Amino acid sequence: MECWAAILGDCDDIPSREHYISDSIFEGETITAFGLPWCNDKPISIGLGAATAKILCRKHNQALSDFDNEASKLSKFITLNIFDRPLVDDTTELNGRIIEKWSLKTLFNLGWLGALDRPSFTRLTPPRPIVECLFSGAHVPEGAGLYLVSGGLTNENYKTGLAWGSVRNHQTQKVLGMTFTFNGLRFVVSLLPTPGEEKIRMNGVVDGFDYGSANVTYRPRNITFGSNTAGRKIINLVW
Ligand SMILES: [Zn+2]
């Protein structure tokens, strides 16, 4: 059975083709993907409707589908406020713990495909304590999970969809987490149950972005964007 949650021992034997990046979130857009095993060294554009792989059994796939709804609300709020109504103030409230679990699920989807370990494409084995949290109501251990990385969001750097990179131990090359931009908002999701702010800044400059001078906030309570001339946008996250 090809299922990254198989360590829980309760898979059903029906494979599913899971969207490894939830297509409902970006409404069928194409994304530019780099680092998938079948891209070689060239970035490719994928229509998200087709971006599926056998990575979860049906039972485990269905059990996590609610995470996509919360991430979809985040995506729609950003798109609406950058493109459709840039000048008005707007506020929304979302469940940070669910957004965090969605980002861990996406990390495991991509890691199981080998997409976080170039050029060897070694499969990431998800750590059991975090897998158990995703399938129960338990909280993700303190230190692991979602970090917001500073950088204003404007219609210049807004980009629909998801781009990602790996965070690895420099000595062992072990995958410790994932950097990702979500419609232009920059995050890191970490697997380590220890404070990650310093390690994230030690990434230095990656793809033109300087993590070394960034503000890094673990489990941010609010994310603001907009400017003095545009409306003020606030995403409140409840943890
Ligand atoms: Zn399963």
Token representation of residue 101: 């679990």
Taking the CA atoms of residue 3, residue 124, residue 166 and residue 44 in that order, the dihedral angle to the nearest 10 degrees is -50
Token look-up 């979500």 returns: 182
- Alpha carbon distance 151, 223 (integer Å): 11
Query: pLDDT tens for residues 196-221?
Result: 999 888 888 877 788 888 999 999 99
Q: How much is the pTM?
A: 0.90
Residues comprising the chain, all counted? 239
- The two most distant CA atoms of the chain are separated, in Å, by 55
Q: What is the pLDDT of residue 97?
A: 97
pLDDT at 30: 63
Separation of 16 CA from ligand 1 center, angstroms? 9
Instruction: Give the start-to-end residue ranges of the domains of the chain.
Output: 72-238
The vertex-5 CA angle with 109 and 37, nearest 5°, equals: 30
In the reported structure, the alpha carbon of residue 3 is separated from the centroid of ligand 1 by a whole-number distance in angstroms of 5
CA of 107 to the centre of ligand 1 (A): 16
Q: 52 alpha carbon to ligand 1 midpoint, in Å?
A: 16
pLDDT of residue 189: 97
Distance 196 CA to ligand 1 centre (A): 30
Give per-residue pLDDT as tens, 147-164: 999 866 666 666 677 778
Burial of 40 per CB tally in 10 Å (0-12, 13-18, 19+): exposed
| Centroid of ligand 1 to alpha carbon of 59 (angstroms) | 6
Rounded to the nearest angstrom, the distance between the alpha carbon of 17 and the centre of ligand 1 is: 12
The pLDDT value given to residue 33: 61
Q: How far is the CA of 58 from the centre of ligand 1 (A)?
A: 7
pLDDT (0 to 100) of residue 237: 97
**The pLDDT value given to residue 47:** 66
pLDDT recorded at residue 168: 84
* Cα-to-centroid distance, 1 and ligand 1 (Å): 8
A 10 A CB-CB count for 160 gives 17
pLDDT score for 34: 59
Instruction: Please tell me the distance from the alpha carbon of residue 184 to that of residue 6, in angstroms, as a whole number.
Output: 33
pLDDT profile of the chain (239 residues), mean per 10: 89 81 69 59 64 86 92 91 86 97 94 82 92 95 95 64 81 88 90 93 80 93 82 93
Omega of the bond leading into 119 within 30 degrees of 0 (cis): yes
- The DSSP-derived string for 34-56 is -S-GGGTTS-EEEEGGG-EEEEE
Q: Which of 102, 83, 80, 108 is nearest to 92 (CA)?
A: 80
Separation of 175 CA from ligand 1 center, angstroms?
A: 22
For 69, residues 6+ apart whose C-beta sits below 8 A from its C-beta are 24
Q: Give me 145's structure tokens.
A: 């999970």
